A and B are shown apart, each in its own frame.
Chain A
């Protein structure tokens, strides 16, 4: 039934042979935020934030303060040269409050509760030493939690995502629109800032579901119906757009019934990530690699998971990790295709689109796709099965491993068993050396 690529039980390249289950949350865990090299915070629908040690899995702090589910969380380290570096996190909740926490002491530093609506996104502009909260309006705050300025009330559901752009600009997604704001120092006060709406971009046909900044020059947006637009970050013009590489129904008026037959999720761009060369898009159940220079999709895995892919991330070593509603985490590797590009596309390639669709259409699509046959492919090198429900997000800690959070209230730390084993040996011998001998009767 499933055309999902599977990997057997033998996964030589999968380094994660040890896991730690971190229990604490009482509801869906939605966010994981890295604080520093070995600490991270988790937050979710239970309104509690936990701080964890990524190496030992030790629970460092339990931060209580929010009464509703947490909607956004962001790390916020003060980079003041004069002060010692203090790690803080900002969290926003559906109880219409924002709290700043001190990660070292585990205490609440400050709390703002003057919001009219839920803050849905938070962005820290380190450079300007301010942070922004996005909800029904955009507010600019300084470190001391003084409201510096705010925009007028925005239509629809308000801002769902924010991204920092060069030249003191930020891009905010509001429904189908992409709004560019610019922050400018106000004339009368030294600390004062003004925020101005600079431009509204209305190229998307549907709600924008993801927004990511690729580099100083480019940022990318993805929408619910699978449009991907690459924008110039300086002049906010459309550099490129793709909306048919995973879906032939670019003309919804021609085949309206097909549109209906597909759940919007199947084409929704759930998450975007990028490295210098490529943008990686989680679209429906699939993963697509879009090359910025070639301006086309170079590799794809149409059904990477059994269910919607919720989060993807590119690792330094050409690997890609994705997690999905099906509760699994998969590790992919981007490889160059060995075979000739002329190789016929396997017939099963478009199976997922085959329902209720004329063969002619499929053939057309096949032909079209054949032209775009990627030169790369994504190979599954391992999967991590542990969660019993949707994996919401994960956090890659490099050597330390991988933290995944899920709707089953758990966080799992996946670790390299070999490395852990030798670390334990090291600890053991250190302890022995401390004690002078083996007199460690516990």
Chain B
């Protein structure tokens, strides 16, 4: 993992490491008065007016037609989470910002009620009084008994950290869309079922009525109709009308454009079946719309036998009837799926945003190291089904198809920005833009580095000053629905708005103005529910073309002069530029047409810095913007996943407007101090669900490793053994102790292939040569029994292949180490206190080692003679010189790199299908006994 060293301090710990925190307290007179609001373990960056809830949570609310907005459930489902936070109040707020024009009913000119397949809307809003910020995802579900057949719901991710919401917007939107999609799928199914039942009822009613009418006709031989008969006839007519209406509804719900989501593993049903159903039902076969095709045993195809009921002619909607619960509205299966997904979201996004971002960046970077990352990284974790949208860029631009698609899509945005729409009642505060304006070129990294800190402070300053209370107002800064990419008042005219290539797909550009007691809608964007399939695949929350163009009132609208047919190979930078120009032409932000220009260079510069990668957290974005080639990417699959890649979607909406990324690149600390200013959440923050366990393991391992390094003065030779491929046996009586040591040391064990780490935590039988081939770190039981004697015998027999760490007598028998790498890796005086921080430190050093091994492995002349006549010795000399001089390796460090290089070679020589014989490499070197 690559981690910026100045970021690692912000990693969060799973649990408090008590022993590590036990440091001598300062004398009373020197101690600084404690932060007044700080409780135990409080986050010093937390806002003073802390939020009323302890951690992020997800809230599902409904705008009930009977009682109005009401919270339904929270995830995690724990009263402590929301604390004193007023869920009812917040539900009211979040439900009141649904701007979607969900329309169901009789549209003018249409005979029948028409179902709208309403898209979800996505809104970010903040309530500074409550200290709550939320990503709000509105969706509508169908309910035959509801008014207009719709039930508005919303799911909200509520956090005290607005930066998290803003910066993770895309990810949140993606994940929530999945949840919503699941919910809606279930709902459509349930709705269709409901309609079928209703139709059966109606059919039955019609038959009954018809019979009655016939009887009356027969009974009544007078030439005229009685009122009764007329009534009956009317009733019959209305039932028939109702039948037609319902049939139409059924047809509509079934003709819902099914599409197969890319995340097939997520999507809980087979769309083919759904289509079948649709086909079948289109026959208007009412009695058995689904004659349970044999073999179709899907949960949802199962239609329980239903006895039709007689429906009263006037089935008046009564308010005392009980509305269906959310669970009833959807299929139970889909409902649990949705809950699972929401839990997944909660786990994914909990914790400090800084940590999330660091995690994303390092994951993205690691993916680039496709050649070496198998050595120390959990490849399965990297390879795992990519959280597509988030890390799409990482998937390798080698996939040309995707790439092309990206550029196509990014080339053809119709950016529609409406200014002034939803102008809020808030006074917007002009923000000083002078810094940028003064220095519009800002071409040099160095300059920006210098100026940025200052600027950043200024912005913070502006932020504080700019917080003007606007009372109980709702401030809508931008909604997608209306085509408003951003909202701004005239007073804000100095604020530049920059549509980016991505603006087309998520027009979330909006600027938030802080105003107390207000709900601020920071940005919205429509859901993807109706996006054509091909677009959908890559941009789940994007609608490429704006169908609501006409809706906005008085909004400025412009379309970039970018034609879709512009050469796709066009330079990304120029793309950006042209967009910026377009933007400038739109009379906003004229002062700074070149904000984006310096960034590509900047990015490159950042990465050219050798040694430590200093990249502050920043949301990782897809790679359309390219900026390729700046990063030393080994394999030519230059991933565009440059961490510093600018994403103007966010930038335009964030306070730091265009320059925040500059800030972030140059001065991550100051960035963090502002970005991480709030952290509502004291919960652990695994950045990714799937790696939750792995994450925990890493932290534990990091912690244990730290302890090991402090405890054992001979940690260096032990770690050297592992890094150079010599099996280390941890011998001890106590299983937990041995296992802890093994866990600690496991982070130093290079992988031999893409399989699991060659670590065996606990063995009780005597070891054999084959074990050393397979395992590089073994926990071994010391037993007193005769078997134990055998075991010790085996150990001494194979001692040349082994380093033996005796956990009971605290001795280590292994070869001498005089190198320098391990000293940096495991400094017992390190100031690092947290396990995960130390883990990251280890990862960064190991990554350096890997890159050295990479260079060493793939330099042709280091291994093969330049000319045929060149003697072997000169090649050997060249090789050693390279290792010593070029790579700066000393003594035993050479062995480490050689071993890693050997692993690399083996890994890439190996035929794919073939497991390959495991090799055991060893050296005839003397071992020494280390004691404490």
| B864 with A426: CB separation less than 8 A | yes
- Shortest distance between the CB of B280 and any CB in chain A (Å): 45
| B920 with A19: CB separation less than 8 A | yes
Residues of B within 8 A of A (CB): 370-371, 398, 634-637, 754, 768-770, 773, 794, 797-800, 857-858, 860, 863-864, 898, 902, 905-910, 912, 917-927
Determine which of A21, A385, A442 lies in contact with B797 in the assembled complex, contact meaning CB atoms within 8 Å: A385
A382–B858 alpha-carbon span in the complex (Å):
33
| B794 with A388: CB separation less than 8 A | yes
Which 6 A-B pairs give the minimum distances between C-beta atoms?
A425-B863, A11-B924, A424-B905, A57-B917, A9-B926, A438-B635
Instruction: Flag the segment in A169-177, A230-238, A427-435 that touches B.
Output: A427-435
A6 at the interface (CB under 8 A from B): no
| A417 with B909: CB separation less than 8 A | no
Residues of A within 8 A of B902 (CB): 421, 424
A188 at the interface (CB under 8 A from B): no
A316–B797 alpha-carbon span in the complex (Å):
29
A428–B856 alpha-carbon span in the complex (Å):
13
A8 at the interface (CB under 8 A from B): yes
A424–B857 alpha-carbon span in the complex (Å):
10
List A residues 390-442 near B (Cβ within 8 Å).
410, 412, 417, 420-422, 424-429, 431-432, 437-442
A9–B768 alpha-carbon span in the complex (Å):
19
| B794 with A441: CB separation less than 8 A | no
A/B pair count, beta carbons within 8 Å: 103
**A44-86: contact bitstring with B at CB < 8 Å (1 yes, 0 no)?**
0000000000001110000000000000000000000000000
**A4-17: contact bitstring with B at CB < 8 Å (1 yes, 0 no)?**
00001111101001
A10–B927 alpha-carbon span in the complex (Å):
9
A-B contacts besides A420-B919, A427-B905, A439-B635, 18 pairs, CB < 8 Å: A9-B927, A14-B924, A18-B921, A19-B769, A20-B919, A22-B917, A388-B769, A417-B921, A424-B902, A428-B905, A428-B908, A429-B863, A431-B908, A432-B858, A437-B635, A439-B636, A439-B637, A440-B908
Residues of A within 8 A of B924 (CB): 9-12, 14, 17, 382
- Shortest distance between the CB of A10 and any CB in chain B (Å): 5
| A9 with B925: CB separation less than 8 A | yes
A129–B809 alpha-carbon span in the complex (Å):
67
Residues of A within 8 A of B927 (CB): 9
Determine which of A10, A14, A417, A428 lies in contact with B926 in the assembled complex, contact meaning CB atoms within 8 Å: A10
Closest to B921 in A: A18
Closest to A12 in B: B924
- Shortest distance between the CB of A383 and any CB in chain B (Å): 9
With A12-B924, A21-B770 already in contact, the answer to whether A385 and B800 are too (CB < 8 A) is yes
- Shortest distance between the CB of A404 and any CB in chain B (Å): 11
A386 at the interface (CB under 8 A from B): yes
Residues of B within 8 A of A57 (CB): 917
| A21 with B370: CB separation less than 8 A | no
| B857 with A428: CB separation less than 8 A | yes
A440–B799 alpha-carbon span in the complex (Å):
37
A426–B398 alpha-carbon span in the complex (Å):
27
Pick 30 A–B contacts, CB within 8 A, sort by A. A9-B924, A9-B927, A10-B926, A14-B924, A17-B921, A19-B919, A21-B773, A21-B918, A58-B917, A385-B797, A385-B798, A385-B800, A388-B769, A410-B770, A417-B921, A422-B863, A422-B864, A424-B902, A424-B909, A425-B863, A426-B863, A427-B905, A427-B909, A428-B905, A429-B860, A431-B909, A437-B635, A438-B858, A439-B637, A440-B908
A23–B769 alpha-carbon span in the complex (Å):
12
Residues of B within 8 A of A20 (CB): 917-920
Closest to B370 in A: A441
| A442 with B907: CB separation less than 8 A | yes
Residues of A within 8 A of B919 (CB): 18-20, 420
Residues of A within 8 A of B799 (CB): 9
Interface-centre pick from B636, B858, B909 (highest chain A CB count, 10 A):
B909
Residues of B within 8 A of A437 (CB): 635-636
A261–B527 alpha-carbon span in the complex (Å):
95
Residues of B within 8 A of A9 (CB): 799-800, 924-927
Residues of A within 8 A of B800 (CB): 9, 385
- Shortest distance between the CB of B872 and any CB in chain A (Å): 8
Residues of A within 8 A of B (CB): 8-12, 14, 17-23, 56-58, 382, 385-388, 410, 412, 417, 420-422, 424-429, 431-432, 437-442
Residues of B within 8 A of A427 (CB): 905, 909
A410–B858 alpha-carbon span in the complex (Å):
35
Closest to B911 in A: A442
| A424 with B770: CB separation less than 8 A | no
Residues of B within 8 A of A382 (CB): 924
Closest to A437 in B: B636
| B906 with A21: CB separation less than 8 A | no
A56–B918 alpha-carbon span in the complex (Å):
11
Residues of B within 8 A of A388 (CB): 768-769, 794, 797
With A425-B863, A431-B909, A438-B371 already in contact, the answer to whether A386 and B921 are too (CB < 8 A) is no
Closest to B769 in A: A386
Residues of A within 8 A of B769 (CB): 19, 21, 386-388, 410, 412
| B909 with A17: CB separation less than 8 A | no
A387–B768 alpha-carbon span in the complex (Å):
9
A425–B878 alpha-carbon span in the complex (Å):
15
Residues of A within 8 A of B910 (CB): 442
A431–B910 alpha-carbon span in the complex (Å):
10
A382–B860 alpha-carbon span in the complex (Å):
33
Residues of A within 8 A of B922 (CB): 17-19, 417
Residues of A within 8 A of B912 (CB): 442
| B863 with A442: CB separation less than 8 A | no
A14–B922 alpha-carbon span in the complex (Å):
11
Closest to A408 in B: B768
Residues of A within 8 A of B770 (CB): 21, 23, 410
| A438 with B860: CB separation less than 8 A | no
Residues of A within 8 A of B398 (CB): 439
A438–B769 alpha-carbon span in the complex (Å):
34
Determine which of B794, B905, B908, B917 lies in contact with A442 in the assembled complex, contact meaning CB atoms within 8 Å: B908
Interface-centre pick from A412, A422, A428, A439 (highest chain B CB count, 10 A):
A428
- Shortest distance between the CB of A221 and any CB in chain B (Å): 35
Residues of A within 8 A of B918 (CB): 20-21
Closest to B794 in A: A388
| B635 with A424: CB separation less than 8 A | no
| A18 with B920: CB separation less than 8 A | yes
Residues of A within 8 A of B860 (CB): 429
Residues of A within 8 A of B754 (CB): 442
Residues of A within 8 A of B636 (CB): 437-439
- Shortest distance between the CB of A88 and any CB in chain B (Å): 26
| A424 with B864: CB separation less than 8 A | no
A425–B754 alpha-carbon span in the complex (Å):
20
With A421-B902, A425-B864 already in contact, the answer to whether A17 and B908 are too (CB < 8 A) is no
- Shortest distance between the CB of B859 and any CB in chain A (Å): 10
A412–B906 alpha-carbon span in the complex (Å):
19
Closest to A439 in B: B635
| A425 with B905: CB separation less than 8 A | yes
With A9-B925, A385-B798, A442-B907 already in contact, the answer to whether A21 and B920 are too (CB < 8 A) is yes
Residues of A within 8 A of B634 (CB): 438
Residues of B within 8 A of A440 (CB): 908
- Shortest distance between the CB of B222 and any CB in chain A (Å): 89
- Shortest distance between the CB of A25 and any CB in chain B (Å): 13
- Shortest distance between the CB of A331 and any CB in chain B (Å): 12
- Shortest distance between the CB of A305 and any CB in chain B (Å): 14
Closest to B371 in A: A438
A9–B926 alpha-carbon span in the complex (Å):
5
Residues of B within 8 A of A11 (CB): 924
Residues of B within 8 A of A420 (CB): 919
- Shortest distance between the CB of A267 and any CB in chain B (Å): 28
Residues of B within 8 A of A14 (CB): 924
A426–B794 alpha-carbon span in the complex (Å):
37
A19–B917 alpha-carbon span in the complex (Å):
10
- Shortest distance between the CB of B138 and any CB in chain A (Å): 42
A296–B25 alpha-carbon span in the complex (Å):
83
- Shortest distance between the CB of A194 and any CB in chain B (Å): 50
